[in-house]
Amino acid sequence: MAAKHEIRADYDRETIVIYQAYSPAIADAALKAGRFAPPFSFHRMTWIKPSFLWLMHRSNWARKSGQERVLAVRIKRTGWEKALSLAVLTSYVPGVFASPEEWAAQLAAAVVHLQWDPERSLRGAGLLHGSIQVGLSRHVIREYGEDWIVAIEDRTVEVRKIYDLLHSGKADKAKRLLPAERVYPVGKELGRRLLIAK
């Protein structure tokens, strides 16, 4: 069965939360400034993800080197939707692109990349619906860092608590600590380009 693509996120009328995992040096600088600051690099692509559990899988619950700190970055929905509107899929999909050559040309010129990976369960198993990742190139990272961010919170303590509960046989308690995520709405035309079926 093909994965169902949908954006699931913690969001309200004005903002959406995305998650990123960084080294202590980058996380501390961002928390102190309320925005990303050196040693964060504004010259390479950064990937933002609204799925908490996908990032837990990716960072091994903040246990991978260079990903020891989990940040919840609340950004403006206008910024998130701008990123989606500029995004080009990182793989060729017939029906979205007229030809592989057209896709390659669009990807080469894209300032935002988009890819889908299997969403993850609390225990890390791949699920049938996809989890979105949005890659912001150096051409839009400044705008992300200076205009879109509303707040940055350190979630590392909560991450470790959930992990400890999960691995001490208390999965029900761990599950109750997960952030609430629900399907994020997108328009029909944008959904078609992003592979979100209506």
Return the closest-CA partner of residue 72 out of 47, 94, 46, 52.
52
CA-based diameter of the chain, in Å?
51
What integer pLDDT is reported at residue 1 of this predicted model? Answer: 34
* Cβ–Cβ < 8 Å for 46, 5: no
Alpha carbons within 13 A on the beta-carbon side of 131: 25
* Cβ–Cβ < 8 Å for 120, 49: no
Q: Which residues of the chain have pLDDT under 50?
A: 1-2
Q: Model pTM?
A: 0.93
DSSP state of 49: B
Distances (CA, A) of 114 to 27, 107, 161: 24, 10, 31
What integer pLDDT is reported at residue 4 of this predicted model? Answer: 85
- Give one DSSP letter per residue of 147-185, joined into a string: IIEEEEEE-HHHHHHHHHHHTTT-HHHHHHTSPP-EEPP
pLDDT tens digits, 138-194: 999 999 999 999 999 999 999 999 999 999 999 999 999 999 999 999 999 999 889
Contacts of 16 (CB under 8 A, 6+ apart): 9, 10, 50, 74, 75, 77, 80, 184
Instruction: List the Cα angle 134/135/141 in 5-degree steps.
Output: 115
Residue ranges per domain, the chain?
Answer: 4-190
